[in-house]
Amino acid sequence: MTAFIDRAEMARITARMLLEIKAVNFEVENPYTLASVLVSPSYIDCRELISYPAIRSTLIDFMVASVQRDAGFQAFDSVAGGETGGIPYGAWMADRMGLPMQYVRKKPKGYGKGSQVEGVLHQGQRVLLAEDMTTDGGSKIKFVEAIRAAGGVCEHTSLVFFYDIFPNTIENLAKHNITLHYLATWHDVLAEAKAGNYFDTSTLNEVEKFFADPLGWSKAHGGVGEVSR
């Protein structure tokens, strides 16, 4: 287990790893269309992390250490991964913490038992939801609701990357009694990208404008001006 290190240093190292494997993409001239239908000069692909054993091992150490520090060492009875990006993180965290695992489908299976939560889940079991990333937290709420409907107690979700550019995400999750544990945000990545000269100054400046006003930047560049829920 990696020693408990300063949050800021953990965020910086996470951001550096994302940049080193080119999981971070900044493109101003031909911006990306996100799942929310926003147009964005930034895109992150956390799924690439699973192909780098040394990096993923360190990230799991960070995720487990963060959750244990903030929620407690005996706070959970199992770990669940959300379909599909969260499943490997759920498996790795469960293994590292010595706990059973489940995974949560985006919607109930349409045949057999019609389950949405797969694996053995006991009534009242305290479940940690593991994920790779979140934008506005909407999908996390749906996964948590599925776990609760199946009899589990789920109040925490752990993930590698949190966008942290859309307002009220933390507050909205709190309304659903969900605490978000994350390693790095776009602000951490931008700071490390500047420090390491990973992109030219004009690109970084434009990306910074997007982070300051993602809805306005999207609308000004031909995209929608609100988040699609």
The confidence score (pLDDT) of residue 5 equals 85
Q: Report which of residues 108 and 128 the model is more confident about.
A: 128
Q: Report which of residues 112 and 84 the model is more confident about.
A: 84
Whole-angstrom Cα distance, residue 129 to residue 131? 7
As a whole-number percent, the residues of the chain with pLDDT over 70 amount to 95
**What is the C-alpha end-to-end distance of the chain, expressed in Å?**
38
CA distances in angstroms from 215 to 134, 173, 187, listed in the order given = 17, 21, 17
Average pLDDT, the chain: 93
pLDDT classification of 2: cutoffs 50, 70, 90: low
The pLDDT tens digits for 4-33 are 789 999 999 999 999 999 999 999 999 999
Phi, psi of 113 (to 5 degrees): -80, -5
The confidence score (pLDDT) of residue 3 equals 59
CATH for 13-220? 3.40.50.2020
Residue 1, pLDDT above cutoff 60: no
* Domain range list for the chain: 13-220
Residue 153, pLDDT above cutoff 70: yes
Q: Average of pLDDT values for 51-80? A: 97
pLDDT classification of 229: cutoffs 50, 70, 90: very low
Task: Give the ranges where the chain is alpha helix by DSSP (H).
Answer: 7-20, 53-71, 86-97, 138-149, 169-175, 186-196, 201-212, 214-220
Residue 123, pLDDT above cutoff 70: yes
Task: Give the ranges where 179-229 is alpha helix by DSSP (H).
Answer: 186-196, 201-212, 214-220
| pTM for this prediction | 0.92
The confidence score (pLDDT) of residue 137 equals 87
